[in-house]
A and B are shown apart, each in its own frame.
Chain A
């Protein structure tokens, strides 16, 4: 019976119901999209790292799985290549071009031996110094085709090929060209190592450290990939917490306002219920159920909107952002929305419960 009243109340003011649950939905989408992007970007990075086909990655001291701290001398490369069980070693240079993008410089012959050749969807491999290749996502985002001109790092490049995504990076130029252009001659950002026997990975890592690379971050591919999760990035954790906090505030305010006006509007109805013997708890219970229903509708709307935001991202900026759907976060985002909404219903609920029945019945 109370459910019927709750349902009829929501139906009675469809615009209020729609807007309130939409606002809760936006809150849920904000959280889920951020989480989806965090997961998506890192999973994508992990997938591209795996696509390298290496067993070990060597990064400069102080680096993390997703951030490099400076470059190092390329003379380490032949030293690493000479170590026992090292089948191949190749170095790359990474030059950031924006907060989320960078150009990767490759030694193409060595790279091809380690990871196989690029599969070109359009165009061909690099033949001249002023050329670079981009992956399909970057090409789609920036509408690039073979022959397109792009300006990166202060100079014009010609795109000569578009390759199938999943190979290490999105924008790739020859290593020596990039080294010269960025005043990094003789420097590398990462060395990728392939072993003759992957089972010896830990053994080789230990011996590399003993051989003088103790300060370097040397990780097996599993270690590297396992660090590419949102939880291992403190900034992302803080950012997520901030967005959740904002979401709770939005949900709280919207539901507060919505329920507050509902209580004002229903002054007489609350008086009627009291005259029929409804306790303050009964009145508050109705408002809380109504709020919970708004939050549930909003959560479903928010989840649906997440698919919309993913579609937008994958169609508009696939080269910069990747968003995955993370169902594990659906109940969390729903619980957050519910908590914010119920918090917003507390004051209106108390106001309704305290309302004087006689005054309410005299009210027009």
Chain B
């Protein structure tokens, strides 16, 4: 069980229909991700990185191919099934943090638990996570009074609070200065090493990509060099 990949993608294709033109965003991807891996995805703008994450995270269905994510077949999944996937199985971290501005940091984390159907009090792992992220003293502040780095660490706490099988981080340091970027990246590496959290991270920055165990290069909707990336 532990040896079977947590993500297995075969010949994944995605075509967007924008007006009359078909945009081939993904042109046949093959790769596996093992449980507990921290993988960086790097590639030029428009190469389909975000599209891949949106499909893995159940925000949009694939056009063709097969994807098995933590035992779930994403190709055959209904809208409701993909909603369920987003609740429990994946956690998103975005470039623009995407915290709800009307709620406090803690409120943002709590609403993710609430949506996932968790009602009881948080466990000790959560307390450990908060300390690891160094945001304990910021929990009762609204996003607007937090720095970018703090907001991103709150967003990471939100992504992890439901103990998802994988975390999908789309350019998590894209809006941060070097210092905050390094803080966020080392937090991600800590989470991966200490909690065994599987992480996929998109980045444009080779230095950031080096924090991962391995790098997947994308270009024009394909992985290069061609072949099964494992």
A: residues with CB less than 8 A from B are: 1-2, 4-5, 8-9, 11-12, 268-269, 271-279, 282, 357-358, 361
A-B contact count (CB 8 A): 65
Asked if B103 and A5 make an inter-chain contact with CB atoms under 8 angstroms apart, the answer reads yes
Q: Mark B110-123, 1 if CB is under 8 A from A, else 0.
A: 11101110000000
Tell me how far the C-beta of A33 lies from the nearest C-beta in chain B, rounded to whole angstroms: 36
* A11–B102 touching, CB < 8 Å: yes
A275 and B86 contact, Cβ closer than 8 Å, known pairs A2-B114, A358-B54:
yes
Determine if B80 is an interface residue (Cβ-Cβ < 8 Å): yes
Q: Choose among A269, A277, A361 the residue that contacts B86 (Cβ–Cβ < 8 A).
A: A277
Given contacts A11-B102, A269-B101, could you give 5 more A-B pairs where the C-beta distance is less than 8 Å?
A2-B114, A4-B107, A5-B103, A273-B115, A358-B59
Instruction: Check B98 for interface membership: any CB of A closer than 8 A.
Output: yes
Contacts of A277 in B (CB 8 A): 83-88, 115-116
Beta-carbon contact of B100 and A269 below 8 Å: yes
* B87 x A357 contact (CB < 8 A): no
Asked if A12 contacts B80 (CB within 8 A), the reply is no
B140 interface hit (Cβ, 8 Å): no
* Residues of B in contact with A, size category: 20 to 34
CB contact under 8 A between A276 and B94, given known A5-B103, A358-B60: no
**CB within 8 Å for A12 and B101 given contacts A4-B107, A276-B112, A278-B115:** yes
Q: How far, in Å, is A272 (CB) from chain B's closest CB?
A: 5
Taking the closest CB of chain A, its distance from the CB of B40, in whole angstroms, is: 21
B149 within 8 A of A: no
- Could you list which residues of chain B lie within 8 angstroms of chain A, going by C-beta atoms? 54, 57, 59-60, 80, 83-88, 92, 94, 98-103, 107, 110-112, 114-116, 158
Q: Say whether, besides A1-B110, A279-B80, A8 and B98 are in contact (CB < 8 Å).
A: no
Known contacts A1-B111, A5-B111, A8-B107; A275 and B102 CB within 8 A of each other: no
In the bound complex, what is the Cα–Cα distance between A277 and B107 (angstroms)? 16
Q: Which has the most chain A C-beta neighbours within 10 Å: B88, B102, B116? A: B102
Given the known interface contacts A1-B114, A282-B115, A358-B54, the answer about A275 and B98 at a Cβ–Cβ threshold of 8 Å is yes
Contacts A5-B100, A273-B115 given; indicate if A357 touches B83 (C-beta within 8 A).
Answer: no
Residues of chain A with a CB closer than 8 A to B87's CB: 276-277
For the complex formed, measure the closest distance between the CB of A9 and the CB atoms of chain B, giving whole angstroms.
Answer: 6
Nearest CB of chain B from residue A309's CB, rounded to whole Å: 35
Q: Assess the B94–A279 pair: CB atoms within 8 A.
A: no
Contacting residues, chain A, for B158 (C-beta < 8 A): 276
What residues on B are CB-neighbors of A279 within 8 Å? 80, 83
Task: Give chain B nearest CB distance to A12 CB in angstroms.
Answer: 5
Pair B102/A357 contact, Cβ less than 8 Å:
no
In the docked arrangement, what's the CA distance between A278 and B54, Å? 16
Q: How far is the CB of A186 from chain B (nearest CB, A)?
A: 78
CB distance from B39 to the nearest CB of A (A): 20
CB-based contact A275/B92 at 8 Å:
yes
Closest to B159 in A: A276
Contacts of B83 in A (CB 8 A): 274, 277-279
